[in-house]
C-alpha cells in the first residue's frame, strides 16, 4: 500500500489558512451580529476542522472505505443535530398555541 506524501509547502499553506481562520474568529467576536454570532463562529470552526481532517489527517488521500467511515460519522452527527434542532426550532410554536387554548377548551367542554 503506497502512502501519499504531501509536500511541506501544502502543510505550511494549510497552517497559514488555519491561522487566518483563527484571526477571523477573533475578529468576528468583536462584531455583534446578533443571533448570527454563533453561526459565524461555528462556520469558521467547521472550516478549520475540515482542513485538519482533509489534509493533516490525510482523509483526502485515504481509501474510499476510510472516507466512507468519516462521512458516516459526520452524517450521524448531522442526524443528532438536525433532529435535536427539530425540537428547539419548533418548540415556541407549541407555546404560542398553548397561549390560546382557553377558548378551544371552553368550546370542547360546552354541553
Partner 1 sequence: MSTNAQTISPHTMPETDYLNASYGIKSWLLTTDHKRIALLYLFSVTFFFFVGGIFATMIRIHLLTPGGYLVTPETYNKLFTMHGVAMIFFFLIPSIPAVLGNFLIPIMIGAKDLAFPKLNLLSWYIYLIGGGFVLYSFSTGGLDTGWTFYTPLSSVYSNSAVTAAVIGIFINGFSSILTGLNFVVTIHTMRAPGMTWFRLPLFVWSHYATSLIFILGTPVIAITLLLVALERVFHLGFFNPALGGDPILFQHLFWFYSHPAVYIMILPAMGVISEIIPTFARRPIFGYSFIAGSSIAIAVIGFLVWAHHMFLTGESLYAAIAFSLMSYLVAIPSAVKVFNWTSTLYKGSIALDTPMLYAMGFIGLFLIGGLTGLFLACLGLDIHLHDTYFVIAHFHYIMVGGAVMGYLGGLHFWWPKISGRMYPEFLARAAAIILFIGFNLTFFPQFLLGYMGMPRRYHSYPPELQVLNVMSTAGASILALGYLLPIIYLVWSYKYGRVAGPNPWPATGLEWKTQSPPLTENFDVTPVVDWEPYDFEHRPDLALEPGVGGLLPAHGDD
Q: Is the Cβ of residue 17 or residue 53 nearer to partner 1 in the bound state?
A: 53
Residues 25 and 45: beta-carbon distance below 8 Å: yes
Q: Of residues 35, 64, 88, 108, which one binds partner 1 by CB under 8 A?
A: 88
Residues 21-60: x where in contact with partner 1 by CB under 8 A, - otherwise, as a string: ----------------------------------------
Using alpha carbons, select from 83, 48, 54 the residue that is nearest to residue 70.
Answer: 54
The 10 Å CB-count burial string (b at 16+, else e) for 27-50 is ebeeeeeeeeeeebeeebeeebee
Instruction: With residue 13 as reference, give the H or E element that holds it.
Output: helix 8-29
Q: Does 84 bind partner 1 (CB under 8 A)?
A: yes
Q: Does 1 bind partner 1 (CB under 8 A)?
A: no
**Which residues fall within 8 angstroms of residue 51, CB to CB, at 6 or more apart?**
14, 17, 18, 21
Q: Of residues 91, 100, 107, 109, which one binds partner 1 by CB under 8 A?
A: 91
**Stretch of residues binding partner 1 (CB under 8 A), selected from 2-10, 20-28, 33-41, 93-101:** 93-101
List residues near partner 1 by CB under 8 A. Answer: 72-73, 76, 79-80, 83-84, 86-91, 93-94, 97
Amino acid at each position: 500500500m503506497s502512502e501519499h506524501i504531501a509536500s511541506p509547502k501544502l502543510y505550511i499553506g494549510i497552517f497559514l489558512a488555519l491561522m487566518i481562520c483563527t484571526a477571523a474568529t477573533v475578529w468576528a467576536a468583536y462584531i455583534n451580529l446578533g443571533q448570527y454570532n454563533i453561526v459565524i463562529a461555528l462556520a469558521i470552526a467547521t472550516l478549520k476542522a475540515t482542513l485538519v481532517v482533509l489534509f493533516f489527517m490525510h482523509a483526502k488521500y485515504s481509501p474510499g472505505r476510510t472516507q466512507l467511515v468519516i462521512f458516516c460519522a459526520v452524517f450521524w452527527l448531522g442526524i443528532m443535530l438536525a433532529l435535536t434542532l427539530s425540537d428547539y426550532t419548533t418548540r415556541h410554536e407549541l407555546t404560542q398555541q398553548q397561549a390560546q387554548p382557553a377558548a378551544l377548551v371552553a368550546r370542547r367542554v360546552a354541553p
